[in-house]
Amino acid sequence: MKMHNKKEKLEAFGRLLDTLDTLREKCPWDAKQTNESLRPNTIEETFELADALINNDVPNIRKELGDVLLHITFYSKIASEKGQFDIADVCNALVDKLIFRHPHIYGDVKAENADQVIRNWEEIKLKEKGGNKTVLSGVPAALPALIKANRIQEKARNVGFDWEEKEQVWDKVKEEINEVEAEIKGGDSNGLEAEFGDLLFAVVNAARLYGVDPENALEKTNRKFIARFNHIEKRANEIGKHIKDMTLAEMDKYWDEAKNLGK
């Protein structure tokens, strides 16, 4: 595929803005959209992009990036109609922020590796006018719990709150497993929920320390489970059985078969 030069990229972006202007003026559906009506679609498009990314589906990554970009320009168009801001303000504010948060590129701060860049980033955000007032206040409340746990731990790490040696995390994981088992024996359902939460948080911590994104790891396992379970159902149909009538031994046999097939 041809890689475009800067002039061509700017022309393409201008074409998008011109098209959106026309649709906003002439299309009944586009004309009636608001921030509130677009929001559910934005969430859906974001998840579709995430899906394409985890599958490394390049054609769909390109398509879904376009859909997300449409929403960014659409919100900016709506704001411009209200006299609030326009897409140029969005771009300029972003560039200003990037320059301000990269003093190791645009200033005299030293950063020799990615970890130092992240630590500098967090310190700068705390100092910014109107920025986050506390280290964890920048973590969106609406994030899914697994992603939120990882973000919380990353931000805490960036100000030095972390294990001295990553291997130490396994003692914490084992401690939380023991506490879950104790709650099971004690029969306290409320305590059990809390301890399972602590255990999950500790496992997320371990994944982070070993360079594994827990959200991506769990989603890949979800997909692997679905593929193998679908194989069991397929094999059940082939032998004239409903999956619920199969024995556990039969299901295990076809599960292993799916594993051997690389599913």
- The reported pLDDT for the residue numbered 137 is 85
Query: For residue 155, what are its two tokens?
Result: 């931000």
Interval 7-23: pLDDT, tens: 999 999 999 999 999 99
Q: How many domains does the chain have?
A: 2
Last residue of some domain: 94, 126, 151? 94
CATH number of residue 71's parent domain:
1.10.287.1080
Q: Residue 219 falls within a domain, yes or no?
A: yes
Contacts of 152 (CB under 8 A, 6+ apart): 136, 139
Cα–Cα distance between 113 and 119 in angstroms, integer? 10
Report residue 257 as tokens: 């078969």
- Which pLDDT score, from 0 to 100, does residue 129 have? 54
How confident is the model at residue 126, as a pLDDT?
A: 66
Mean residue pLDDT across the chain: 91
Reported as a single tens digit per residue, the pLDDT across 149-166 is 999 999 899 888 999 999
- Indicate whether 106 pLDDT > 60: yes
| 201/150 Cα distance (integer angstroms) | 8
Q: What is the mean pLDDT of residues 170-184?
A: 96
pLDDT band at 128 (very low <50, low <70, confident <90, very high): low
**Residue 192 falls inside a structural domain:** no
Overall size of the chain counted in residues: 263
Is residue 38 in a domain?
yes
Q: Is residue 182 part of a domain?
A: no
Over residues 53-66, the mean pLDDT reads 95
User: Is the predicted pLDDT of residue 141 greater than 60, yes or no?
Assistant: yes
Q: pLDDT tens for residues 66-101?
A: 999 999 999 999 999 999 999 999 999 999 989 988
Q: 94, 121, 136: which is the final residue of a domain?
A: 94
Can you spell out the DSSP letters for 202-234? HHHHHHHHTT--HHHHHHHHHHHHHHHHHHHHH
Note down the domain range covering 226.
215-260
Buried b (16+ CB within 10 A) or exposed e, 66-77: eeeebbebbbbb
Q: Which residues of 211-247 are buried (b: 16+ CB within 10 A; e: fewer)?
A: eebbbeeeeeeeeeeeebbebbeebbeeeeeeeeebe
208 touches 154 (CB < 8 A): yes
Alpha carbons 258 and 227: distance in angstroms, whole number: 8
Domain boundary among 77, 94, 111: 94
User: Is the residue at 146 inside a domain?
Assistant: no
In a domain, 86, yes or no: yes
User: Nearest to residue 125, comparing CAs of 137, 113, 143?
Assistant: 137
In a domain, residue 241? The reply is yes
Q: Amino acid letter at 249?
A: A
Note whether residue 107 is domain-resident. no
Average pLDDT value for residue range 245-261: 93
* pLDDT in the model for residue 132: 57
Report d(CA 226, CA 220) in Å as an integer: 10
